[in-house]
Structure 1
Amino acid sequence: MKRRNILKAAAAGLAAAPLAISSTNAQAASKVRLRMQTYWGTESDEIHDQFLDDVKVASNKSLRIKRFRGSELVPNADMFQAVSKGTIDMCQGYAGYWPGQLDIASIEAGLPGAWTNYDEAQYIMESKGLIDLIREAYAEQGVHYLGPIMGGPFDLLTTKPVKSLDDLKNMKIRATPSVAKILEKFDIPTVYLPGGELYLALSTGTIDGVIYAGTNEYKAMKLYESAKYYTFLNMVNPGYTDQMLINKAKWDSMSDEHRRIIEMAYAKHARKMHTWMVSGSIDAGTSGLFEFSTLPAEDSARLRKAARVLWEEEAAKSPRNAKAIEIIAAAAKATGRG
């Protein structure tokens, strides 16, 4: 069996309906070339190259995507607007970069306390309809939301040991806007920096710590060379949610076959990316590069309590956000966290 047909058969298992595209149809389809940026650097080249290859092979090369690494075309925080305007066609981004540009962005990115494991997150997204509210919000901005890409751990890495939240009051921590709102309630100084600047910022003392991801990403970025103290925060797991976006006008102009190929390649990529981040963090945790500690239970509880105030703030932004928070709050209650 040719490799293209093997890929089609495997991809069909990721979707509700199988891909029905013949080689004749693929050859007849107009050639489409897309530019996609991710906020990731070289550390994710292999897994992103597989996504691009899946699209190329399944479409018989009639659909091709060229991937650019973080900030190569536009600043990472501008990717959503760039896709909306058609400056770039696609992105794999993180909505925590643009909370002021989309009402539901902070909720989509993974509010602290929103879920405790992958299955619960998928239940909230898929079964309870959070994904529909997110897709609606992006569509209003001329963007088609393909879906979430669940991340891995989302914890603290610092240049000095951390035993409590009080220790952080004398440090400057890199955090996304939504997490910064919570830390600032405890008088913890925060600053936002793109991922590509974290190594230099830590090595020069510009910042004292980061809340960016887990040991997998911290190891790949070599942040352990300046900061080896890893503190489990126990705020949310999966700790962050990426997504894949595509310009809606571009999406609407594509053939059904090409749209289906992208949907299935995205679904496969989302599952592989989550597994890569989680398993990579487990492996990196045994490398001896980090020293581990856990935030005291009472401090983690304080963070989650502060996050509930953030939930209320997010719900007040729009009727859509209010519906989203209702979904999250109902799930928390159903799992004994309400």
Structure 2
Amino acid sequence: MNDRIKISKRDFFKKAGAVTAGAVGASTLAMPYVRAQSPIKWRLQTYAGPALAEHVCKPAVDAFNKAANGEMVIEMYTADQLVPQGELFRAVQAGTLDAAQSDDDSAAAPVDVAVFGAYFPFASRYSLDIPTLWEWYGLKEIWQEAYSEVQGVTWLSAGSWDPCNFATTKPIRSVEDLKGLRVYMFPTGGRFMQRFGVVPVSLPYEDVQVAIQTGELDGICWCGITECYTVGWADVTKYYLTNNISGAWAGSFFANTEKWNAVPDHLKQLFQMAMDTSHYYRQHWYWWGEAHYRTTGGKYELTTIPGAEWKTVEDEAQKFWDDIASQSPRCAKVVKILKDYRETMEKAGPPYRYA
């Protein structure tokens, strides 16, 4: 009796082992090892030059590549490295690039709302205004609508950068001092400042510093003081005007639609998180830098146009807004949102707006 029981147990374990081994083999065949597959590879070009890209783009790309764990790899390229900035959007559309980080304005995005990218004059006072406008005042949905009309490119996410100030080789202490200055600027900001005699100049990003040194440019109105120090422009300009024409740059991430649709959902979510991380990093990096370099940088003489005189520039911006609103019903909708937002912030008072 006992021998029969022992034999039965022995047979049972033999049979169980055979079944288990078969199940493991079947499982192995049914689920290929992910690392054995070729990773998805993207080429992303940012509007920023090498020194600036180390802050505004690379940390997020590095974080994504690490978290993707070999399933996807993004190669980052800096301003004009693969295609000129003015051809950036078309390059994504054609599939020459898989993705881009840029403002709509300088990338020549073929949508009516592109004019609001980068520095739409006096649309924002602080960097937090940008995410608030996109996430809570409807600009996100408007951007999605606008880009849904463009084949080949998917708009992904917008965030804020630094304010837009003049850094020049000549001091600016009055509106009159702006006349005749040859300044590197974004397209829409340049169009607006032409009303005050500024001569906007378009150049490849990496040529700007030499152009200032040779006298081809009198300065830049492209960024805030953090970028001036980071990329070396503070070494070739002497004066920094504390009045800005916009409180924050509005920029976005774009992807080639076919390439984006081919990305698995979990990697899309991971990329969204990487973009959000990028937006967050810039919020605190620029907020720190704008105050830090004004107070301890040591390379600039700060100048200021008196408030009452600068108000003439702000008032002119309202006329500029109305001109833009007349370009399309969607532009009119955006301008209406900007006006409502400005009114809300002014009514709310400090810290949202100060008199």
Whether TM exceeds 0.5 here: the answer is yes
Tell me the CA shift for residue 138 of structure 1.
2.2
Tell me the CA shift for residue 99 of structure 1.
5.5
Q: TM-score normalised to the size of structure 1?
A: 0.86
Q: Distance in 2 between matches of 1:243 and 1:280?
A: 21
Alignment match of 1:32 (pick from 26, 34, 40): 40
Is the 1:108–1:134 contact (alpha carbons within 8 Å) kept by the matching residues of 2? Answer: no
Is the 1:159–1:226 contact (alpha carbons within 8 Å) kept by the matching residues of 2? Answer: yes
Tell me the CA shift for residue 41 of structure 1.
1.9
Amino acid at match of 1:273: R
Q: Distance in 2 between matches of 1:107 and 1:121?
A: 11
Alignment match of 1:235 (pick from 220, 223, 245): 245
Alignment match of 1:112 (pick from 101, 109, 121): 121
Alignment match of 1:275 (pick from 284, 291, 299): 284
Tell me the CA shift for residue 189 of structure 1.
2.2
* 2:165 pairs with 1:155: yes
Q: Distance in 2 between matches of 1:90 and 1:205?
A: 35
Amino acid at match of 1:248: T
Tell me the CA shift for residue 45 of structure 1.
4.7
Amino acid at match of 2:41: R
Is the 2:85–2:107 contact (alpha carbons within 8 Å) kept by the matching residues of 1? Answer: no
The structure whose Rg is larger is 2
Tell me the CA shift for residue 196 of structure 1.
1.6
Amino acid at match of 1:284: Y
Alpha-carbon spacing, 1:250–1:236, altered in 2? closer, same or farther (3 Å): same
Alignment match of 2:51 (pick from 40, 43, 48): 43
The alignment covers a number of residue pairs equal to: 315
Alignment match of 1:69 (pick from 71, 74, 78): 78
After TM superposition, the structure 1 = structure 2 runs for residues 17-28 of structure 1, keeping only pairs within 5 Å, are: 27=35
Q: Aligned with 2:196: secondary structure? A: coil
Is the 2:64–2:270 contact (alpha carbons within 8 Å) kept by the matching residues of 1? Answer: yes
Q: Distance in 1 between matches of 2:193 and 2:214?
A: 23
Tell me the CA shift for residue 181 of structure 1.
1.7
**Aligned twin of 2:198:** 188
**Aligned twin of 1:248:** 257
Q: Distance in 2 between matches of 1:220 and 1:118?
A: 19
Q: Distance in 1 between matches of 2:197 and 2:246?
A: 21
Once the two structures are superposed, residues 90-111 of structure 1 have per-residue CA deviations (whole angstroms, 9 ceiling, x without a partner) of: 1111223145732101213342
Amino acid at match of 2:125: T
Q: Aligned with 2:125: secondary structure? A: coil
**Aligned twin of 1:205:** 215
Amino acid at match of 2:284: T
Q: Distance in 2 between matches of 1:131 and 1:49?
A: 24
Question: Quick check: 306-315 or 125-134, which moved more?
Answer: 306-315
Is the 2:88–2:108 contact (alpha carbons within 8 Å) kept by the matching residues of 1? Answer: no
**Aligned twin of 1:217:** 227
**Aligned twin of 2:5:** none
Tell me the CA shift for residue 335 of structure 1.
2.1
**Aligned twin of 1:294:** 304
Name structure 2 gaps, 5 residues minimum.
Answer: 1-31, 348-355
Amino acid at match of 1:58: A
Is the 2:91–2:97 contact (alpha carbons within 8 Å) kept by the matching residues of 1? Answer: yes
Is the 2:163–2:247 contact (alpha carbons within 8 Å) kept by the matching residues of 1? Answer: yes
Q: Distance in 1 between matches of 2:269 and 2:38?
A: 15
Q: Distance in 2 between matches of 1:116 and 1:29?
A: 48
* 2:94 pairs with 1:94: no
Tell me the CA shift for residue 218 of structure 1.
0.9
Tell me the CA shift for residue 28 of structure 1.
8.4
* 2:185 pairs with 1:178: no
Q: Aligned with 1:37: secondary structure? A: strand
Tell me the CA shift for residue 179 of structure 1.
1.3
Name structure 1 gaps, 5 residues minimum.
Answer: 1-23
Tell me the CA shift for residue 327 of structure 1.
1.0
Q: Distance in 2 between matches of 1:29 and 1:268?
A: 28
* 2:85 pairs with 1:80: no
Amino acid at match of 2:98: D
Alpha-carbon spacing, 1:146–1:100, altered in 2? closer, same or farther (3 Å): closer
Tell me the CA shift for residue 336 of structure 1.
2.6
Alpha-carbon spacing, 1:326–1:266, altered in 2? closer, same or farther (3 Å): same
What percentage of aligned pairs have identical amino acids? 27
Q: Distance in 2 between matches of 1:215 and 1:272?
A: 17
Amino acid at match of 1:38: T
**Aligned twin of 1:12:** none
Is the 1:153–1:278 contact (alpha carbons within 8 Å) kept by the matching residues of 2? Answer: no
